[in-house]
Amino acid sequence: MSYPAIELFPVLILGAGYTGSRVARILSAQGYGVMTLRSSDIDFNAPDATAQLLPKVADKCLVLHSIPSLPGNADARFLDALGKASRIVYLSTTGVYGGAEHVDEHTPIAPRNPREQARADTESAVSRGPWQSLILRPAAIYGPDRGVHVSMAQGAYTLNGDGSNYISRIHVDDLARLAAAALLSDLTGAYPVADEHPCTSREIADYCAVRFQLPPPVSASQSDVPVSRRNNRQVDGRAIFRLLGLSLLYPSYKEGLQLNSSR
């Protein structure tokens, strides 16, 4: 792993939303010049997306690609504008592992549907580019204003059957720290990202019900549960944190779901 010794390379965040905005704040605090672009700034699905993006791409910039995969060939189209970038870190998803129930850094991807395949296609396009690249595949991202505790408070959370399926997750602050470190490293390849405590849907729902004084969620058939909560997947994300020399701020949801987590 190496870091720029003198020159602070410019940073471009594509998709400065829940995670990307936090990465921008981390790197700005370290003295990096950061430009953030949301879909409201550029229509990445437009035929002229490349022309819109080209003037924004500084020579040798570091790029965090945090935009969900776009339909058709739109990802490849706007990636053409990033030719001057020296490094791209792409935030993908553990969804590319398909039906795998146990995932680590050696698990091959196996997309099952168009949505997962689109993510896999973007990973491939990023990996083929002229820049150095790293793929991060986060498990379910949670934190302030996002996660099981929020869905339960809104009455919008249902269990997949008896809730015995396993879900892995990562706190947004840990993911942001990891993505920032990844941009400044020279590590390549693809790695899953998760905390140290995959748990059943029932376990975290019961915890949230007690801690936040919420009514327990109802059970539903798999077809009535959002696709993201139908999986039964335990993710071992230790490798990427070890390689980047980071420790988790929130090793499990119990640390991450503190009452002051709305900060």
Domains contained in the chain, number: 1
Positions of E strands within 165-214: 166-167, 169-171, 189-193, 199-200
CA 138 – CA 235 distance, rounded (Å): 9
Percentage with pLDDT > 90 across the chain: 70
Answer with the residue of higher pLDDT: 142 or 261: 142
Q: Is the pLDDT of residue 78 over 90?
A: no
Q: What is the pLDDT of residues 107-147, one digit of tens each?
A: 999 999 988 999 999 999 999 999 999 999 999 999 998 99
CA 257 – CA 253 distance, rounded (Å): 6
Answer with the residue of higher pLDDT: 156 or 224: 156
Q: Is residue 6 part of a domain?
A: no
For residue 48, the model assigns a pLDDT of 85
- Specify the pairing of strand 34-37 against strand 11-14: parallel
Instruction: Tell me the pTM.
Output: 0.92
Q: Is the pLDDT of residue 2 over 50?
A: no
For residue 11, the model assigns a pLDDT of 96
CA 96 – CA 234 distance, rounded (Å): 14
Closest CA to 71 of 29, 118, 35: 118
Q: Is residue 226 part of a domain?
A: yes
Lowest mean pLDDT among 8-12, 69-73, 76-80, 151-155: 69-73
Lowest mean pLDDT among 168-172, 211-215, 221-225: 221-225
Q: Is residue 196 part of a domain?
A: yes
Lowest mean pLDDT among 169-173, 195-199, 212-216, 226-230: 226-230
Residue 22 vs residues 133, 180, 248: alpha-carbon distances, Å: 20, 9, 16
Q: Is residue 147 part of a domain?
A: yes
Q: Is residue 86 part of a domain?
A: yes
For residue 3, the model assigns a pLDDT of 45
Q: Is the pLDDT of residue 7 over 80?
A: no
For residue 106, the model assigns a pLDDT of 98
Q: Is the pLDDT of residue 261 over 50?
A: no
Q: Is residue 130 part of a domain?
A: yes
Domain CATH for 107? 3.40.50.720
Lowest mean pLDDT among 30-39, 68-77, 231-240: 68-77
User: Domain of 79?
Assistant: 11-256
Q: Is residue 263 part of a domain?
A: no
Q: Is residue 151 part of a domain?
A: yes
Q: What is the pLDDT of residues 177-218, one digit of tens each?
A: 999 999 999 999 999 999 999 999 999 999 999 999 999 888
pLDDT classification of 231: cutoffs 50, 70, 90: confident
Left if phi > 0, otherwise alpha if psi is -120 to 50, otherwise beta: which for 108?
A: beta
